[in-house]
Amino acid sequence: MKLVFLDADGTLFHHEGYIPDSAIKACIQAQKNGHKIILCTGRQRIEIFGPMLEIDYNAIIAGSGATIECEHKIIEENALSKKESQYLSNYLLKNNIPANFESSNGIYATQYTKDTMLKMVEEQCAGKTQEEKAKHGLTILTSQITVVDNIQDLIYNKVSVIDNGKTPYKKIQQDLSDKYDVIPATFAPLGKESGEVTSYHINKATGMDAVVKYFHADIKDTIAIGDGFNDLPMFKKAHLSIAMGNAPQEIKDKADRITTSLDEDGIYHAFKELNLI
């Protein structure tokens, strides 16, 4: 039995709202062959719905390790401390940086942030039909945001910083990396200067440990497939790591193998080469 940990956006799930048929068939067949399929994503649990659930995952690691669900049961929840949350929210508000404050039960933001994202939706969906716009990942994400006035009072597990064309990612990383893990965002529609801020103690690798323990498995039986910077802890932890063909070169350099891109049936080809199917 192998435990296969799959990133979502850019690996299994296209930002225009679908999982390739070849990936769905590969995952279902691998499960029939006795393997476990685990979704391991930076998305919060509430963001995993609709087309993303065309696969009945054996486990889900959401929020980059914050929420662990095995066999449809939540077995672990993690978050930033109140002190960490308040410091981070105060920094972002003071510098007028748009950001989504994410927890397992909601995504929260200021009105300024939501307005910034609505503008991005219009820009990125220009020329698309209403149906295509409705399925676009940025449209769906924006619709899930709850606008609140008391950001400083929230406890959350992750912040997604949005590119507003004013504050460079490098500046945010420089200001916060002594206290938090700051990486480039893995959801491309948020912009080139976007990023993700989490605890140094919570990541996809810690989520993997919990799932391996739950299934009484061994780390030598783990495979990780991804395309983003938040997949690097997963790559380091797994016995075998595979980068998607559409991953940045820096991610490919850290992987044991490289498969084809999402659009070129990368998951299917990786499963085939590993004799999972």
- For 4, 118, 161, the CA distances from 231, given in Å and listed in that order, are 13, 28, 18
Strands of 106-109's sheet, edge to edge? 145-147, 106-109, 99-103, 158-161, 195-198, 181-184
> Does the pLDDT of residue 30 top 90, yes or no?
yes
Any idea which fold 3-78+202-273 has?
A: Rossmann fold (3.40.50)
Which CATH number does 82-198 carry? 3.30.1240.10
> Does the pLDDT of residue 17 top 90, yes or no?
no
> Does the pLDDT of residue 179 top 90, yes or no?
yes
Of residues 171, 186, 188, the one with CA closest to residue 92: 171
Alpha-carbon span 243 to 34, nearest angstrom = 23
> Does the pLDDT of residue 114 top 90, yes or no?
yes
Rounded mean pLDDT, 175-198: 92
Q: What is the mean pLDDT of the chain?
A: 95
Do 12 and 71 touch, CB atoms closer than 8 A?
Answer: no
Residue 209 pLDDT level (bands cut at 50, 70, 90): very high
Residue 71 pLDDT level (bands cut at 50, 70, 90): very high
Do 159 and 102 touch, CB atoms closer than 8 A?
Answer: yes
For the chain, what are the domain ranges? 3-78+202-273, 82-198
Residue position matching structure tokens 């559409």: 246
> Does the pLDDT of residue 105 top 90, yes or no?
no
Residue 66 phi/psi, 5° resolution? Answer: -75, -40
pTM: predicted TM-score of the whole model, two decimal places: 0.89
